[in-house]
Chain A
Amino acid sequence: MSADSLLQLLTQVIFITVFGVVCARAARHRTRANMDTALLFLAFTLIIAQQWASAVLRITPAGIAGAMSGAFLMALPYLLLRLVDDFAHVPRALMWSAAAGLVLAVAALVLYQLLPWSSGAPSPLPLPLLLALVAYFVALMVYAAARYITEARRASGVTRRRLQAVAAGSLLLGLLLVLAPLQMAVPRAAELWQIASRLLGLGAGLGYFIGFAPPAWLRRAWQEPELRAFLGRAAALPHLPDRSAIVEALERGAAGALGVPGATIGRWDEDEQALRFQLRGPALREALARAQHLVSQAPFWVEGNRFLLKPGRMIAGRAFAQQQVVLTTNPKRDDPAHAPFYDAVQTRALLAAPITAGERRLGVLVVYAPRAPVFAEEDLYLVKLLADQAAVVLESHALIEAAARARALEEAARLKDDFLSAAAHDLKTPLTTLLAQAQLLARKAEQMPEAPADRAGIERIIAEARRMSALVNELLDAGRVGQTRLVGQRTPIDLVALATEVCARWPPGRCVLVSAEPVVGEYDSHRIAQVLEHLVENAVKYSPNGEPVTIRVWSEGDQVRLSVTDRGIGIPSSDLPHIFDRFYRAANVDDRQFAGMGLGLSICRSIVEQHGGRIWVASTPGHGSTFHVVLPIKAGGGAV
């Protein structure tokens, strides 16, 4: 067998194989597209059958039979155009003129009773007619190819490759027909034309094979990069903070992996007992709301930017309830009760897969396209894979959130324990004096009943009891931080006088007040005094070298400024932003040296802020710190 015959046979086998595959597909799913595809390849097969018949019987068919092969050939572009029309709209005028052209071409061929495909012999078809036929064929082929290429650009993954292959095959077929007049024009290069036409035929066959009946391994090879990219992205998804962001990423990934425009995930909502989908775009929302009215007893409804669907109803709901992948290329036929819905979302093909992690039903993944036929059996497998991946991602995220919540609870419990033990410790100190002093008084009274009352001892008991009371109040205040209950009645007070009182409680020289003139404003005097006292107490506590602490009070426009400066151990810069947090102790404070609950500054901040003011600190470790407070003069004024 010569190479030429081999090539021809190979091409013929390819076309017949594709015919077989598309016939089987059409028998399984009787969609218009599948039928048209089968028709197209029926035409190819009939051409090939005629070629074999004439080769075997060694006759050149004449008459009607002879014209039929040509007719089938002329039918190809029209049939291809019908296919284009199945998934993308072709102008009616074009369809009608293509049909008309076909009728004319067949008539012309029948009239001339000739096969334009004879090898080598010059065709008795008049040149004008031949050119007209070729022009018709090539024009339609090129148009069809162009439409396929445009669609391919909008698709991705497997679908895109298939569309590109069909476009290529069609162009090659067109080129093949162009060879016919060229063959007649330059008969000397007959062999060249022969080889060229065989190769073009083979190329077209391969193009159509890849486009209409790609083998599973090829499909998977095309899917692999998309799938791998999706899986790679999926690994990072559970750590996204926002669950709707994760769902959106999963949806986009699924749409990309399958090469379709749209994918949506419906999550099972236990409270609503429905599947919840995110809606993007107000247009879709309105369309769905309209559809809700059009469908009687609609099992779905729109709430804000969410779409809810009862399980077991409609295609997606069925997939979820039955835990099965469901494919439909005609949703209006498979689910006629809800036809207006599918019109509203402009879906002609739908693929739904349940998202289930172990026993837990998490939801359903729905992939849809406005045109059929885009999905095939392989896509069922892929969408199941994607749904499983989505289940893993969503479960992981749920677990991460649960772990974070558990940690937060642990942290809160730990803080509470720390707080309680610190509080207990701080209360024990005045309690020690209280108990011991009272017992000493009792002992003295018992052993020296005639001695006068130990006034100093009794005073000490009272002082310590007061101290405990103050501590208990501090604990209660700490609970009120963040609420508005810390600051009470505001009265006009002179802050300079207040500061003088605070300073006076310390041994002379320890606390120094610097101020120019009285500064009057409306404050809760008890609370502001508390703030000042605490700041000074801290300043003294953390200045073990005994250097004096300086209070400054002055007014600035409609604001009042206070500052407390010490030359003590200072505060490390890393602690500065946290120093006002509850329970916070700075890094350079040894818990053993400086006992305390760490509450004071958070209470101070709350008091200042509830007055409409601000408090902050500037500090140099090893040199000292200055705490600044700014307050509005009038209640209700906010300090900047």
Chain B
Amino acid sequence: MNPAGASSPRQPDSYVLVVDDDPAILTTVSEILQFEGYAVRTATNGAEALRLVEHARPWAILLDMRMPVMDGWGFARALRTRGIDVPIVVMTAAADSRRWAEEIGAAGHVPKPFELLDLVGAVERLRAG
């Protein structure tokens, strides 16, 4: 396991996108993923996330649903319209996380508060699949 830092040789030029309006969660999730050796970029809402995706394609997206400006649904719709097909894992504290994940055609969901290993496991599965 590499310490948090530059992109690992496993994922050249690509990254995991973490989208959440809570800055503490962004920092913590980034740290966790970086500790696993992944490159991470963050966005605080759907609009910011969209700009990042258009600039450089991530290989996985961890998506909070409730955000200002553009929420998770709006973001997923925007991706679909642009034909961008990146697997999404829904990360939300709401009780309906499974249903919301299905609604937007996500690859999986990790309800908050999550176990660290559950989060890491969900991302690993995306990389494998």
Query: Are the CB atoms of A440 and B35 closer together than 8 Å?
Result: yes
Q: How far is the CA of A444 from the CA of B35 in the complex (A)?
A: 8
User: A425 interface residue, CB < 8 Å from B?
Assistant: yes
User: B89 interface residue, CB < 8 Å from A?
Assistant: no
Q: Which of A133-141, A430-438, A490-498 contacts B (4 or more CB under 8 A)?
A: A430-438
Query: Are the CB atoms of A447 and B113 closer together than 8 Å?
Result: no
Q: How far is the CA of A444 from the CA of B115 in the complex (A)?
A: 15
User: A91 interface residue, CB < 8 Å from B?
Assistant: no
Chain B positions within 8 Å of A434 at CB level = 113
CB proximity to B under 8 Å, residues A584-616: 590, 592-595
Q: How far is the CA of A440 from the CA of B113 in the complex (A)?
A: 14
Query: Are the CB atoms of A436 and B66 closer together than 8 Å?
Result: no
When C-beta atoms are compared, the residue in chain A nearest to B119 turns out to be A436
Chain B positions within 8 Å of A443 at CB level = 35, 116
Query: Are the CB atoms of B66 and A595 closer together than 8 Å?
Result: yes
Give a binary string over B4-23; 1 marks a CB under 8 Å from any A CB, 0 the rest.
Answer: 00000000000000000010
Q: How far is the CA of A595 from the CA of B22 in the complex (A)?
A: 12
Q: How far is the CA of A585 from the CA of B27 in the complex (A)?
A: 30
Q: How far is the CA of A437 from the CA of B22 in the complex (A)?
A: 14
Total B residues in contact with A, Cβ cutoff 8 Å: 28
Q: How far is the CA of A71 from the CA of B89 in the complex (A)?
A: 117
Query: Are the CB atoms of B28 and A436 closer together than 8 Å?
Result: yes
- Kindly provide the distance from the CB of B35 to the nearest chain A CB, expressed in whole angstroms: 7
User: B25 interface residue, CB < 8 Å from A?
Assistant: yes
- Kindly provide the distance from the CB of B69 to the nearest chain A CB, expressed in whole angstroms: 5
User: A428 interface residue, CB < 8 Å from B?
Assistant: yes
Q: How far is the CA of A436 from the CA of B20 in the complex (A)?
A: 15
Query: Are the CB atoms of B35 and A436 closer together than 8 Å?
Result: no
Query: Are the CB atoms of A429 and B28 closer together than 8 Å?
Result: no
Q: How far is the CA of A463 from the CA of B24 in the complex (A)?
A: 9
Chain A positions within 8 Å of B27 at CB level = 460
Give a binary string over B56-91; 1 marks a CB under 8 Å from any A CB, 0 the rest.
Answer: 000000000111110101000000000000000000
Chain A positions within 8 Å of B112 at CB level = 428-429, 431-432
Q: How far is the CA of A444 from the CA of B4 in the complex (A)?
A: 11
- Kindly provide the distance from the CB of B109 to the nearest chain A CB, expressed in whole angstroms: 14
Query: Are the CB atoms of A593 and B67 closer together than 8 Å?
Result: yes
Give a binary string over B87-110; 1 marks a CB under 8 Å from any A CB, 0 the rest.
Answer: 000000111000000000000000
Q: How far is the CA of A443 from the CA of B114 in the complex (A)?
A: 15
When C-beta atoms are compared, the residue in chain B nearest to A454 turns out to be B31
User: B32 interface residue, CB < 8 Å from A?
Assistant: yes
- Kindly provide the distance from the CB of A633 to the nearest chain B CB, expressed in whole angstroms: 38
- Kindly provide the distance from the CB of A435 to the nearest chain B CB, expressed in whole angstroms: 5
Chain A positions within 8 Å of B22 at CB level = 429, 433
Query: Are the CB atoms of A432 and B114 closer together than 8 Å?
Result: yes
- Kindly provide the distance from the CB of B104 to the nearest chain A CB, expressed in whole angstroms: 12
Chain A positions within 8 Å of B115 at CB level = 435, 439
Query: Are the CB atoms of B73 and A429 closer together than 8 Å?
Result: no
Query: Are the CB atoms of A435 and B113 closer together than 8 Å?
Result: yes
Query: Are the CB atoms of A429 and B93 closer together than 8 Å?
Result: yes
Q: How far is the CA of A593 from the CA of B93 in the complex (A)?
A: 14
Chain A positions within 8 Å of B28 at CB level = 432-433, 436-437, 440, 460
Interface, chain B (partner A; CB < 8 A):
1, 3, 22, 24-25, 27-29, 31-32, 35, 65-69, 71, 73, 93-95, 112-117, 119
Given A425-B94, A428-B112, A430-B24, 11 more A-B residue pairs with CB atoms under 8 Å apart are A425-B93, A428-B113, A429-B112, A432-B28, A432-B114, A435-B113, A436-B119, A437-B28, A439-B115, A440-B32, A541-B68
- A-B pairs, top 9 by smallest CB distance, nearest first, are A428-B93, A439-B116, A432-B113, A432-B112, A433-B24, A431-B113, A435-B113, A437-B28, A436-B28
Can you spell out 23 A-B residue pairs with CB atoms less than 8 angstroms apart? A425-B93, A428-B93, A429-B25, A429-B93, A431-B112, A432-B28, A432-B112, A433-B28, A434-B113, A435-B116, A436-B25, A436-B28, A437-B28, A440-B28, A440-B31, A440-B32, A440-B35, A447-B1, A448-B3, A463-B24, A541-B68, A592-B66, A593-B67
